[in-house]
Chain A
Amino acid sequence: MNKFKDFCVFSAGLWALLLVSGCNLNTRMSTFTAKGPVAETQLDLFMLTLWVTAFIFLAVGGVYVYVVIRFRDKKDSTDAIPSQGHGNPLVELSLIGVSIFLLVIIAIPTLKGIWYTHDTPSDEASLLGSWYTNGPLSEESANEPFIIRAIGYRWWWEFEYPQLGISTANEMVMPAGRPIHIELRSVDVIHSFWLPKIAGKVDLIPGRSNSMWIQAGDSYEAWLAKNDFQGSEVDAQSAYNNYLENDIYDYYYGQCAEYCGDSHARMLFRAHVVKDEEFYAWVNKQKAGHKAPDNMEWDEWYDAYDNAPETLTGDVNEGLKLFMGRAKCATCHVVGGNPRAVGVAGPNLTNLADRHSIAAGWLNHRNEDNSIDSKQQFNNFVQWIKETDVVKPGNLMWKAKGAGIGELDPLLNDEEINQISHYLQSLK
């Protein structure tokens, strides 16, 4: 008996310890710090289920503990056999009734939540044409919500912006306060798009057209309604901007959430949530692509590359020559502007050096203030090219039926890897 008491006290202590230790809930992928209407709906529902079950836990658990202590076999009691009562229909029925009532409390908001989180808002203010002011849109695009197409590959992400004619990989950029329709596609196995602070996950299933919607932060109208703001339009605008500035503009962390093979653990992604102006600037930069090194035109550069490659000197030029030549990078990668780098099997490398991570979020070079640690960035490029198969086991870039850089004979040497890394670091 004493041992049993000790055991109860011991476990209770550990539980308390665990509960206290679980304090910091504001971490990079925490679902507790919801930053958009979808994640908020999901968090609210979770909290509702938590309170309802906590109530049941206290009620049933309390009775349970009471019963176990109250009706324990006492040493001094007689050996009398307790009453052999075996049921009470009234008690049973009322408990069933209470259970159903508690479930209904969860069920109604759940149904509302299912409907709300399922359909991308399509009211006037949510359409792309109503807010996008960075150049002309086709009529069809203007009358749709903003679309980003997330395509899963083993083990990286492609983000296409079909209405804007651009594409990037592993780090998406998106405006705040606008609903975004995400089309989910996979080219190989099942992946799952999970950006915990902004929305729960939906799977990318090959051969199936899934979609979801996400939104970082409230729209101006929703924010006004939620905060019941009194005051002038100008004050309201500036208060809303403060809210976006303080709470929403950020670098968000996401990850593949469906097991997809060897390097599933290393299939991460990021979302930059930015001001409209910053978003437009990024779109334009992405559309413009890159010029050849030393500010040359591409025709000029390729003329030299084809006829007198020795005239192209310096690390960046050497890197690009390897990129187009011996290392065969261009077979699989697009670099915006470069007319011969049009391979589509690998990630789009346009403005690669502007990204805060490479290798689908596994190798990072972001400083706290959102700037890029260029030394770390260079090292990351080197590490990635040198040991692609260690950073991401099973990766196609290393071995792909003869086309991988791990199948080059001889392998790239340190100098070549440095040159390619210098070239990659010039992509900004």
Chain B
Amino acid sequence: MSTTITDLPNQTQANDLNNLKPEKSDLGLIRPDHSKNVFVDWLTTVDHKKIGIMYGAMALFFLLVGGLEALIIRTQLAVPENDFISAQRYNQLFTMHGTTMIFLAIMPLNAAFFNFLVPLQIGARDVAFPRINAFSLWSFVAGALVINFGWALQALEAFGLFTAKGPTAGMNDFVPAMGWFGYAPITDKEFTGAGTDFWIMGLQILGVASLSASFNFIVTIINMRAPGLKMMRLPVFTWMTLIVSLLIIFAFPAITIALAQLMFDRVFGTNFFSVAGGGQPILWQHLFWIFGHPEVYILVLPAMGIVSEVLPTFSKKPLFGYSIVVFSGAVIGFLGFAVWSHHMFTTGLGKIATAAFSLLTMAIAVPTGVKIFNWVGTLWGGRIRFQAPMIFALGFVWMFMMGGFSGIMHSSAPADAQQQDSYFVIAHFHYVAIGGILLAIISGIYYWLPKMIGKMWQGSLNIWVAILTVVGLNITFFPMHFLGLLGMPRRTHTYLAGFGWETYNMVCTIGSYILGLGVLLLVVDIVRCFRSKEAAGNDPWDARTLEWATTSPPQVYNFAQTPVVNARDALWADKYGPEERKLGSVDESHGIHMPSQSWMPLVASCGFIPLGLGLSLMQAGVPFSGYAAILGLVIITVGVALWALEGPGGYHLHPQKKA
């Protein structure tokens, strides 16, 4: 194997990496580079690897929060007419479960992989805009905080220490309780309290985070590929990142507008969705799903990307039909914008629209099916090694297929009239979300964590994680198909006995505990990996793509010398391919240019917190909160201005060869 890209070049002026001194920015302030203080270092970091790890850690936390919410929901539904929690609390929990899992767990878990892997897979030093990357991370944190802030108020309310005044006087629901797609007009201030405002502001802020990250990745992938890494040589995961980023920048404006209109309705009394003023509630559904359906693919395409990396590695074969897999990903992304109304088959669209969206929804099954065929094709004739990442990837294909089948059933609009808003739908999208996305993400964690932290997994706990998650998810969600077809509507906090739903619900609840235990064991296994003594080495899985060519964990500069790529599976070709396909390297004896760290992305993002909380609390009649919102805007403006004025900075590293 060629080692040129991990070997340090002969530096003309080697510097001691431990004793670098920070420079002053254009504003005359000392840049927070090379800080020995861990907190300063991580808070101001622009390193895509650290940002990715922080995304991952926070997303895992929210995955556990969302999971806990789900377990409370399932406990309430275990037996009929249960009063474990109140109707209001149940409604808040299912709303926050959906919102948390989609926006605070899966999307940032995907973002964690994007951040950590994309620059490594394309042989770059970092993303195109490192400070925007940090801004995305901290905006995500601000949004998550704003959305979840209602829990604190709700706790105060429960102890009688806080009640809503002002515009939402008398409405003491401070945690959102209108479902994760917030159908108007239940989001009107006539029907829901300040919880809805936290939800609006939180999602709006998360949108900023997602959009800025997406622009960053698009520019990075298009512009910063290593020499020779043509688009059709990109690893599939990077391809999927590119497609997802494009989906985000086209899909998020729709929800941004919808949320702004809703906020105007609630705060300033406009009439976009309120019927009394001549508004149209159905408008919300169109805007939401024009965002919401691409969002489904925003969640699932990265999972497909992960599996398209893992399956080839562990069958020692290239991905079958690479170009068709990439193309079908693009087709899915494109068609994803043309099927939104299949979420609305029961809203009275009329025959023609129903027929059109029915057929388009069937059409989207084709590129999805193509991916399944190609994964099977990849396995065909390979040498399949059942190591942890592979077990989850194989589980993904199987479970995702199940979710796909119920998707085909929904596409037939008349059949969907019975399935819509029933537990059948819950079964469908959890097979996709857990059986598909979560299993792929776990596969990705098992695959790439050794690269991220440089340590190797210990023991065989992973088998138990696999058994418990796969078995748990099937016991939880398979019976829900029957529940739905036997008439149980979703989002009901309780149900009467005698409808034939009791046994199924009890089984579902038991299954959810099994699944929960599986996820908990995953966390234990991750902790054990962090405490592992065994070094992972550069390439523990005999993998195929560029990220495995560098050290584990990668140095801050990723590659000592920028690689020159001569094949699709660059590392595989380097290890086993002919001479002309092996990796080359760019001579970088002049040093490695690194971006400077900065406080400004953090400062600007922090402004979102008083902005979001202030506007929401104003709705609950908290005095002076409107001023807090203005203060937030000021902080954002000042933060961005200083960010612009401080200059990009940057410094050169001249790492020394180890003796």
Contact = CB atoms under 8 A, between A and B. Distances in A.
Interface of A: 1, 3-4, 7, 10-11, 14-15, 18, 21-22, 24-25, 27-32, 39, 41-43, 45-46, 48-50, 52-53, 56-57, 60-61, 63-64, 67-68, 71-73, 77, 81-88, 91-92, 95-96, 99-100, 103, 106-107, 109-111, 113-119, 184, 188-190, 192, 194, 196, 199-203, 205-208, 210-211, 253, 255-266, 268, 362, 364, 393-394
A77 B281 contact: no
Given A3-B463, A14-B474, A71 B408 contact: no
A408 B416 CA distance: 46
A100 B366 contact: yes
Contacts of A111: 355, 358-359
Interface stretch (B25-33, B66-74, B445-453, B485-493): B485-493
Given A49-B412, A106-B408, 16 more contacts: A15-B474, A27-B501, A53-B408, A57-B401, A73-B386, A83-B317, A95-B369, A103-B366, A113-B414, A114-B351, A196-B487, A199-B417, A205-B281, A208-B280, A208-B282, A258-B421
Contacts of B363: 103
Given A71-B382, A73-B385, A64 B376 contact: yes
20 contacts: A4-B463, A45-B412, A53-B408, A60-B401, A71-B380, A83-B317, A88-B377, A92-B373, A103-B363, A113-B412, A114-B354, A196-B487, A200-B416, A206-B185, A208-B281, A208-B348, A255-B487, A261-B186, A264-B493, A265-B495
Interface residues of B, number: 105
A256 B460 CA distance: 48
B417 A28 contact: no
Interface stretch (B110-118, B319-327, B435-443, B557-565): B319-327
Nearest to A212: B348
Q: Is the interface of B mostly helix, strand, loop or mixed?
A: helix
B362 A103 contact: yes
B466 interface: yes
Contacts of B463: 3-4, 7
Contacts of A87: 320-324, 374, 377
Interface in B339-377: 346-348, 350-351, 354-355, 358-359, 362-363, 365-366, 369-370, 372-374, 376-377
Interface string B484-519: 011111111111101111011001000000000000
A21 B183 CA distance: 36
Contact of B386 (A31, A72, A265): A72
B261 interface: no
Contact of B489 (A18, A91, A257, A263): A257
**Residue of A39, A189, A190, A211 contacting most chain B CB atoms (<10 Å):** A189
B242 interface: no
Interface string B279-291: 1111000000000
A362 B384 CA distance: 55
B348 A31 contact: no
Interface stretch (B145-153, B391-399, B584-592): B391-399
Nearest to A85: B381
A184 B471 CA distance: 42
Contacts of B250: none
Listed from nearest, the 10 A-B pairs whose CB atoms lie closest are A29-B487, A200-B417, A27-B500, A265-B492, A113-B414, A207-B275, A210-B348, A53-B405, A87-B321, A259-B491
A32 B485 contact: yes
Contacts of A32: 485-486
Contacts of B418: 31, 39, 42-43, 46, 196, 200-201
A106 B411 contact: yes
Contacts of B538: none
Nearest to A110: B412
Contacts of B629: none
Nearest to A195: B487
A110 B504 CA distance: 30
B381 A106 contact: no
A113 B413 contact: yes
Given A87-B322, A113-B413, A258-B183, A56 B376 contact: no
A107 B471 CA distance: 34
B459 to A, nearest CB: 12
B44 to A, nearest CB: 43
A266 B383 CA distance: 56
**Residue of A15, A64, A208, A259 contacting most chain B CB atoms (<10 Å):** A259
A264 to B, nearest CB: 6
A207 B350 CA distance: 16
A49 B417 contact: no
Contacts of B478: 15, 18
Contacts of A71: 315, 379-384
A70 to B, nearest CB: 9
Contacts of A118: 350-351, 354
Contacts of A199: 417
Contacts of A110: 355, 358, 362, 411-415
B463 to A, nearest CB: 5
B362 A211 contact: no
A25 B501 CA distance: 11
Interface string B417-436: 11111100000000000000
A262 B381 contact: no
